[in-house]
Structure 1
Amino acid sequence: MKVEIWSDVMCPFCYIGKNNFEEALKKMPFKDEVEVEWKSFQLDPTLDPKETKNTFEYFKEKKGFPEVQAQQMIGQVLQMGKGAGIDFNFEKALITNTFSAHKLVHLAKKYNKSGEMEEALFIAHFIDGMNVGDLETLVSIAGSLGIDKEEAKNILSSEEFDQDVNHDIQEAANNGITGVPFFILNGKYAVSGAQPVELFQNALQQTYDETVTPKNLTDNGASCDTNGCEI
């Protein structure tokens, strides 16, 4: 059984969805039969990889939100995060282009460490306030997972894996995916948004038990799209 997950490093709901999905998967008796494949999605490919913005600046520029409204929205995300075991640190988070970070996930896939890389990038971005668009930062993250730093540096400095990232993004478009996180379970069911653990459990069990035409199991949950994040 295969689960494909489209995600972006700077999407808080992707981190919440990851934790909830993984918690659900741990409870399934067939968990060892499930292959998880992480797919690239860029919420804002127009961002300059050489620049960073803080969360409030980005909300104001992208959606025109005043800081008070942005604070209210972030407060809701903080509560959702705590429920998933995440202590977001939005005051430190640096918004930037995530294309290179996605390349690192594809490199990690080569070593069966894509899930660990996703986690490391989420922690770097949302907890530690690191610049996940910076080459040296990404090389350091790769090294922390036992991936050769020189290989990581060469990958990030070249066009290798560019096609893989772009293929994932195009595949999302072909599947009508406009927001993340987005989960396709064995090509049978689609789950969108940072859903609760129980829903992921039900989806996994149902997918395991049935062979059906792909369809959405739920209305859209909290997710981010190219216009920003919505609850």
Structure 2
Amino acid sequence: MSVDQLKSEKDVTIRWLHFPLHPETPPEGILMKELYKNRDKESTKAYGDHLRALMKEAGLTYNKRTRLDNSRIAQELGAWADTQMEGDDFHYAMFQAYFVDDQTISDRDTLIDIAGSVGLDKQTAREVIESRSFSAKVTEDWNRAWENGVTGVPTFVARDLFVYGSQPYEVLERFYNNLRKMQDQEG
């Protein structure tokens, strides 16, 4: 992935900020055909093709999904995972499960299995889900994202610079270089 390449070549730290792309999604999720029923089919197809092309260019797989899951609990588990492990393994496993394998990430057992697959304790993951102990952290992230005008995922933010969407390495490198220029000008 282009983010991994940037991290390996530059002195950067990536911090995951949880964001609700579709906060209106009911807990049980919604079928994609229902979500897009009032949209023009041609523009919806064109958007899907564009998204798949961007993902491919960034080295990511994006399969056709049949439903949109409510990701709130998955994000809470992700916030906990961030406190338990270095790196992005949990988030990448979640991406794989949802966008490639079409797993239901609003299903608690699925989430626990994903946590276990990256070496996190499954019983503790279950407790985190049941207690909702990272709910406040995710709400804080959502509020911060909205305050910063984030409207899509992923969004890369540093100071007043934003890069939206899955991007090839060259775009992220340019983002990094522009940030460094700003820092150098400030002294």
* Coarse TM-score class (shorter-chain normalised): 0.7 to 0.9
5+ residue gaps in structure 2?
none
**Letter aligned with residue 52 of structure 2:** L
Distance 1:69 1:175 in 2: 28
Cross-structure match for 1:216: none
Q: Select which of 117, 136, 140 maps to 1:167.
A: 140
Residues 21 and 151 of structure 2 are in contact (CA less than 8 Å); yes or no, is this contact kept in structure 1?
A: no
Change (3 A) 1:203 1:167: same
Report the residue type matching 1:82 in the other structure: K
Partners of 1:70 and 1:191 lie apart in 2 by 23
TM-score normalised by the chain length of structure 2? 0.86
Q: CA deviation at 1:100?
A: 0.6
Structure (1 or 2) with the greater strand fraction:
1
Cα 1:20–1:59, aligned 2, differ >3 Å: closer, same or farther?
A: farther
- Partners of 1:158 and 1:74 in 2: how far apart? 36
The structure-2 alpha-carbon separation of the partners of 1:58 and 1:212, relative to structure 1 and needing over 3 Å to count, comes to: farther
The answer to whether structure 1 residue 49 and structure 2 residue 31 are counterparts is no
User: What is the rounded CA distance, in whole Å, between the counterparts of 2:145 and 2:51 in structure 1?
Assistant: 25
Distance 1:68 1:141 in 2: 35
Asked if 1:23 is matched to 2:5, the reply is yes
Matches within 5 A, 1:1-231: 19-28=1-10, 30=11, 34-53=12-31, 55-60=32-37, 64-90=38-64, 92-113=65-86, 115-185=88-158, 187=159, 189-211=161-183
Contact 1:24 1:200 in 2 (8 A): yes
Moved more, 76-85 or 120-129: 76-85
For the 8 Å contact 1:182–1:193, the answer to whether it is kept is yes
Q: Percent identity?
A: 26
How many residues matched? Answer: 185
Deviation at 1:21, TM superposition (A): 2.8
Contact in 2 for aligned 1:181/1:193 (Cα 8 Å): yes
Cα root mean square deviation, aligned: 2.3
